[in-house]
Amino acid sequence: MFGSWGMIQPRMVDPRLALPGREQPILPDGAPHDIFDTNVLDTPEGSEVAYLALGCFWGAEKLYWNTPGVTNTAVGYMGGFTQNPTYEETCSGRTGHTEVVRVTYDPAQVSYDELLRIFFENHDPTQGMRQGNDIGTQYRSAIFTTSPEQKDAAAAALQRYGQAFDEAGYGAVTTEVVDEPTPFYAAERYHQQYLDKNPAGYCPIHATGVTCG
């Protein structure tokens, strides 16, 4: 999961130069979830869906599968131009995608606001196209909303945390809030629940200690 200033330029690819991708999904039938008794692409009954990008998706997924009220998780790619990208293509910087966790949650047990609190408090949303030593467009901070209510909640959280990070001496929050429909492309099977399969795997959480209420 390492990036490099030399290998990956921290800027978005020109859509005209993006890799073309493919029609066939990388994970067409999903995969069994290693923690929940689900397929990783299932939305359990009564659940809603959130899409959150906070750097390396291995550690981010673990944060959410350990959150009470979360009913399923999957990792994948969103926000770029390439159809059904691979991990290697995404890491090349030529797809425009960022690493995302698809979180399904029971709103009777955990609120979307709580998912956003976990999001903002467990990475540095002021770093632009990076998280720590992980550098590239695939590590940028983003929230992909799925309803007007999520859009409003994300905008409110962005304002609150923007003020909190400013007061703590950080730069401006660079988190993107994307409210137009955007495809989620599931990542390869070995990335799903990676830190359950590889408990000693590299994927630090870049929490800053900044909180907001």
Instruction: Write down the catalytic residue from 56, 91, 203, 212.
Output: 56
Instruction: Say if residues 121 and 210 touch (Cβ distance below 8 Å).
Output: yes
| CA-to-CA separations, 52 to 8, 21, 49, 64, in angstroms, rounded | 22, 23, 10, 10
91 is known as an active-site residue: no
3-state secondary structure the chain: CCCCCCCCCCCCCCHHHCCCECCCCCCCCCCECCCCCCECCCCCCCCEEEEEEECCHHHHHHHHHCCCCEEEEEEEEECCCCECCCHHHHHCCCCCCEEEEEEEECCCCCCHHHHHHHHHHCCCCCCCCEECCEECHHHCEEEECCCHHHHHHHHHHHHHHHHHHHHCCCCCCCCEEECCCCCCEECCHHHCCHHHHCCCCCCCCCCCCCCCC
Distance between CA atoms of 81 and 99, rounded to whole angstroms? 14
**Residues assigned a catalytic role:** 56
